[in-house]
Amino acid sequence: MQTRAHILVEGLVQGVGFRWFVARHAQALSLKGFVRNLYDGTVEVEAEGDRGLVEELIKHLKVGPRSAQVRDLHIEWRTPENETRPFEIR
């Protein structure tokens, strides 16, 4: 089943390679969407694809790269937009 998740990642997640970490895992899972830093210090992730694969990405987000300290994830499940572009860093 296809789904889309909007995820906000809180903690020490900027300046630690978090966006590259997310993009690498999302691309390996063949997910569509994007990752970007927000002005409030959080990282925003939009991931679309098979629900099981999106959930797999969420498991990685909870840990993050070695130098990150993930404090919390806020996940909102959405209707897929049939994204066609590859996962990207914005």
Considering the candidates 19, 36, 82, 85, report the single residue annotated as catalytic.
Answer: 19
Are 5 and 59 spatial neighbours (Cβ–Cβ below 8 Å)?
no
> From CA 90, how far away is CA 77, in angstroms rounded?
21
- Determine whether 19 is an active site residue: yes
Largest CA distance in the chain: 34
- Determine whether 51 is an active site residue: no
Considering the candidates 24, 36, 37, 51, report the single residue annotated as catalytic.
Answer: 37
DSSP-derived secondary structure letter, 34:
E
CA distances to 12, 13, 79 from 37, rounded to whole Å, are 12, 9, 23
Which positions are catalytic? 19, 37
